[in-house]
Structure 1
């Protein structure tokens, strides 16, 4: 009984940490996509440069480490429970994993280039020529994360009420849909890798380039994934 109580206590602490880190991460994701990006479209060059140098690095610190601790606490919950959870949790976890990888492997490295370029230009130097491409690459990955976040939050929140069943077919179809969207979002960052050169070109953001577009697409993706899990 003591062992069971201790295990439940550890799980509850992990869930609390997962919840806190997730709020930090997703909250800043929505700030970047719904607030900061729209502000930058209207801001004058001086204000934008100042924000990129002083505000963005601080926000990105909390953003990427929020993502890190969300992943670590999530893995801890899996370890404590030992698997055997409902299918929706695995789909939500896959979405979260791709979002984490996008943060650390695409968004943060490319935002560092943008920040360095703004700092160099503000100091009287020349802006880095690769900064525009880096901003576009980070922007697409960030929009993809926003798209993924909507179904991810649904599946994580609904997990306590979801049937504890697992359909291999439904899971595989959901994985195909998610991987295809991730490929599109990551394409500008991976297109130079030989194995991806033979695949169809990705990197399209037309449907979710706007705030309304990414929200509608996220809601649509949630419905599609829900129907896949529910009907298959």
Structure 2
């Protein structure tokens, strides 16, 4: 009984940390995409430069480490529970979350560092870094992809406890994973362009349907519905 109580308490602490980390991470993701990006379209050059040098680095610090806390506590919960949460929902939600984490650390943050460094160099009277525009585009596409993914991710994380699909259905699950991976490929394409491999793969890097705030919200809701229907009806 004592061991069960200890495990339950540890799982609750991990869940608490998971929620705190997730709120920090996803809250800043929405800030970047729904607020800051729109402000930068209208801001004066001096105001945008100041924000890039002073505001954005601080926000990105909480953003990327919030992602780390979210991932580690999520893995911790799974380890403590012994994998007893066996619904397809948690696996889809976890896949989306892990892809979002890799986008943060492998695409968004490295490319944003280039953008910030370029802004600082311009502020000191120098020229913008030659790869700053490409870095901004790559980070922007990955960030929009994360916003797209966050909507179904949050749904499936909640569904795993409140509306679980406990019977594993290989075909709909494989189709759902394929859809997610195709969207991830598109979102990572601009960051992959520097590798020779990308020249041998189909084109990607399109943000036509979720370039606007309304577009990414609608696409995220549509993705959540499609993935849900795959699990629920097939």
Q: TM-score, normalised by structure 2?
A: 0.97
Is 2:72 the partner of 1:72? Answer: yes
Deviation string for 1:154-190 (max 9, x for gaps)? 1111221213222122221111000000000000111
**Partner in structure 2 of residue 2 of structure 1:** 2
**Partner in structure 2 of residue 206 of structure 1:** 208
**Partner in structure 1 of residue 118 of structure 2:** 117
Deviation at 1:129, TM superposition (A): 1.3
Aligned runs of 1:98-109 on 2, under 5 Å?
A: 98-109=99-110
Q: Distance in 2 between matches of 1:205 and 1:163?
A: 31
Deviation at 1:124, TM superposition (A): 1.1
Aligned runs of 1:80-91 on 2, under 5 Å?
A: 80-84=80-84, 85-91=86-92
Q: Distance in 2 between matches of 1:193 and 1:52?
A: 28
**Partner in structure 2 of residue 146 of structure 1:** 147
Unaligned runs of 5+ in 2: none
Q: Distance in 1 between matches of 2:97 and 2:206?
A: 21
Unaligned runs of 5+ in 1: none
1:200 alignment partner, SS class: coil
Q: Distance in 2 between matches of 1:46 and 1:130?
A: 21
Deviation string for 1:188-209 (max 9, x for gaps)? 1113334433221000000000
Deviation at 1:70, TM superposition (A): 0.3
Q: Distance in 2 between matches of 1:135 and 1:76?
A: 34
Deviates more, 1:142-151 or 1:119-128: 119-128
Q: Distance in 2 between matches of 1:54 and 1:159?
A: 39
Deviation string for 1:122-150 (max 9, x for gaps)? 01111111101100100000000000000
Q: Distance in 1 between matches of 2:118 and 2:198?
A: 29
| 1:193 maps to which of 192, 195, 201 | 195
Q: Does structure 1 retain, via aligned residues, the 8 Å contact 2:165–2:232? A: no
**Partner in structure 1 of residue 156 of structure 2:** 155
Is 2:34 the partner of 1:55? Answer: no
